[in-house]
């Protein structure tokens, strides 16, 4: 039935307040698995360095009774380093905008500050997983994890290692090879290489698509018993969708990383991680720059930090590179 004549309807009203949820849902995910799982250390220069040493390979050790000692020469340790990278996020908000009752308060300063801090964490995660060579000078760039890995690697045809150059004291980006599908064989082979190198990898960090591939081949009846879900109660749990794979060369937790879905260039790797072999060295903590002057009827803000990736020993890590990371063909 139609409304009675003269009924005042909402369609005619002009003073009704719009209803908009006061809860702002951030659709951009905040999880940064590698950054979150590795240790944090302080840095005292823009080029923090560390030393890398290793044991001699096992050898026959038999000697004659009463034999005179002979003495072996000692090899010097390797000295490595990575440049710190400055990251920042900014905003400017009018004082009126900050004062009004805006829906969700998403545009207010305290919320923008939180949002920018989260964005820097995600930018840091992207820098870690990107195939970026280190760069010195005023505009410094930290070498990403792919530029360090040389030993426990699986690459497509024509792919080649980068690595740390002791002469230039810079890392070199890897050369990408022909892409191929991620398989259990590639995973097991790389885990075997890592095991033989003395690595104790605990996590496999992959793009969301590669995680879906892992679920597929791990659902095979011949290998399903080697996979089980993380219960969400262990302190080692990174994300709720992680799986534990008990393979022939150890047990690893398979963790999807949303940041790695940023591009095909980033998604094409599956990282074998031992958190003890990595750290973030911080020269300046991610924090507000208190020196910013507000010169008008608005408040300006800058969140800034400076840090770098420390790869304690690349032999304790691994990568399956040149895999399809976004789709079955990209």
User: 193-218 pLDDT, tens per residue?
Assistant: 999 999 999 999 999 999 999 988 76
User: 23-74 pLDDT, tens per residue?
Assistant: 555 555 568 999 999 999 999 999 999 998 877 778 889 888 999 898 888 7
pLDDT of residue 299: 85
pLDDT of residue 39: 93
Q: Quick one: what percent of the chain has pLDDT higher than 90?
A: 59
pLDDT of residue 70: 87
More confident residue, 98 or 205: 205
- Indicate if the pLDDT at residue 237 is higher than 50: no
pLDDT of residue 123: 95
Q: What is the DSSP letter of 25?
A: -
pLDDT of residue 105: 55
Q: ∠ CA(143), CA(144), CA(146), 5° rounding?
A: 120
* CA 113 to mean position of chain CA atoms: 22
pTM score of the predicted model = 0.84
pLDDT of residue 223: 59
pLDDT of residue 15: 59
Neighbouring-strand partners of residue 39: 279
81-111: burial string, b at 16+ Cβ within 10 Å, e else: bbbbbebebebeeeeeebeeeeeeeebbbee
Mean pLDDT, the chain, as a whole number?
Answer: 86
More confident residue, 231 or 292: 292
Q: What is the mean pLDDT of residues 1-23?
A: 61
Q: Quick one: what percent of the chain has pLDDT higher than 70?
A: 82
Distance, CA of 195 to CA of 177 (rounded, Å)? 24
Query: Largest alpha-carbon pair distance within the chain?
Result: 119
Neighbouring-strand partners of residue 79: 51
Q: Using an 8 Å Cβ cutoff, are 84 and 307 in contact?
A: yes
pLDDT of residue 135: 98
């Amino acid at each position: 039935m139609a409304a009675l004549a003269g009924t005042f309807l909402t369609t005619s009203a002009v003073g009704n307040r719009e209803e908009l949820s006061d809860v702002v849902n951030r659709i951009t995910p905040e999880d940064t698995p590698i950054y979150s799982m590795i240790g944090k250390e302080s840095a005292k220069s823009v080029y923090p360095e560390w030393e890398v040493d290793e044991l001699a390979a096992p050898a026959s050790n038999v000697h004659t009774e009463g034999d005179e000692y002979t003495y072996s020469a000692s090899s010097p340790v390797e000295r490595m380093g990575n440049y710190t990278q400055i990251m920042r996020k900014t905003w400017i908000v009018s004082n009126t905008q900050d004062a009004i009752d805006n829906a969700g308060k998403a545009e207010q300063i305290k919320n923008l500050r939180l949002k920018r801090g989260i964005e820097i964490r995600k930018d840091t995660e992207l820098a870690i997983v990107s195939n970026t060579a280190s760069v010195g000078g005023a505009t410094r760039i930290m070498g990403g994890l792919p530029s360090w890995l040389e030993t426990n690697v699986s690459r497509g045809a024509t792919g080649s290692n980068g690595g740390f150059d002791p002469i230039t004291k810079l890392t070199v980006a890897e050369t990408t090879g022909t892409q191929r599908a991620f398989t259990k064989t590639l995973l097991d082979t790389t885990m075997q290489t890592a095991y033989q190198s003395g690595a104790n990898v605990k996590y496999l960090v992959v793009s969301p698509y590669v995680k879906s591939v892992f679920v597929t081949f791990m659902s095979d009846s011949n290998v399903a018993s080697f996979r089980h879900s993380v219960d969400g109660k262990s302190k080692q749990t990174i994300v709720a969708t992680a799986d534990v794979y008990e393979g022939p060369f150890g047990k690893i937790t398979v963790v999807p990383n949303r940041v790695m879905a940023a591009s095909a260039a980033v998604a094409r790797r599956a990282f074998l991680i031992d958190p003890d072999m990595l750290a973030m060295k911080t020269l300046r903590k991610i924090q507000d720059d208190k020196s910013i002057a507000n010169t008008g009827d608005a408040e300006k803000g800058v969140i800034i930090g400076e840090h770098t990736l420390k790869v304690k020993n690349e032999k304790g890590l691994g990568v399956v590179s040149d895999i399809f990371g976004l789709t079955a063909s990209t």
